[in-house]
């Protein structure tokens, strides 16, 4: 059995380790959890919960932050 699963991160397919948490996903992407907001299958996951939520195949994850705007 493959130990990687496919998820969508910001609209792009990515392979992540089976059973990885959202916090581990951020670490693998070299993203500071304090600098992004995580939406997991349309639900916002607060920072303290990132280590408790594991990703499943087909999950849609959005990682957003503030950019310049009017």
Partner 1 sequence: MTTAVETIRDVPFTIGGRSFHSRLMVGTGKYRDNDTMARAIEASGAEIVTVAVRRVDLDRTKEEGVLYHLDAKRYFLLANTAGCYTAEDAVRYARLAREAGFNEFIKLEVIGDQETLLPDVQGLLVATRTLVAEGFKVLAYTNEDLVTALRLEDAGCAAVMPLASPIGSGLGLLNPFGVRTIKRRLQVPVVVDAGVGTASDACLTMEQGVDGILMNTALAAARDPVAMARAMRQAVEAGRTAYLAGRMPKREVAMPSSPLEGMLD
Residues interacting with partner 1, by CB under 8 A?
9-12, 29-31, 35-37, 39, 42, 44, 46, 62-70
Shortest distance in whole angstroms from residue 1 CB to partner 1: 27
Shortest distance in whole angstroms from residue 57 CB to partner 1: 19
Shortest distance in whole angstroms from residue 66 CB to partner 1: 4
Q: Is 40 exposed, middle or buried (0-12, 13-18, 19+ CB in 10 A)?
A: buried
Identify which of residues 44 and 51 has a Cβ nearer to partner 1 in the complex: 44
Instruction: Determine the distance from the C-alpha atom of residue 19 to the mean position of all C-alpha atoms in its chain, rounded to a whole number.
Output: 12
19: left (phi over 0), alpha (psi -120 to 50) or beta: left
């Amino acid at each position: 059995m493959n130990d990687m699963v496919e998820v969508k991160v910001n609209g792009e397919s990515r392979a992540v380790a089976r059973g990885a948490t959202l916090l581990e996903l951020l670490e693998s992407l070299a993203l500071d959890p304090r600098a992004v907001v995580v939406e997991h299958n349309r639900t916002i996951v607060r920072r303290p919960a990132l280590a408790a939520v594991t990703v499943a195949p087909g999950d849609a994850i959005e990682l957003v932050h503030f950019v310049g705007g009017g």
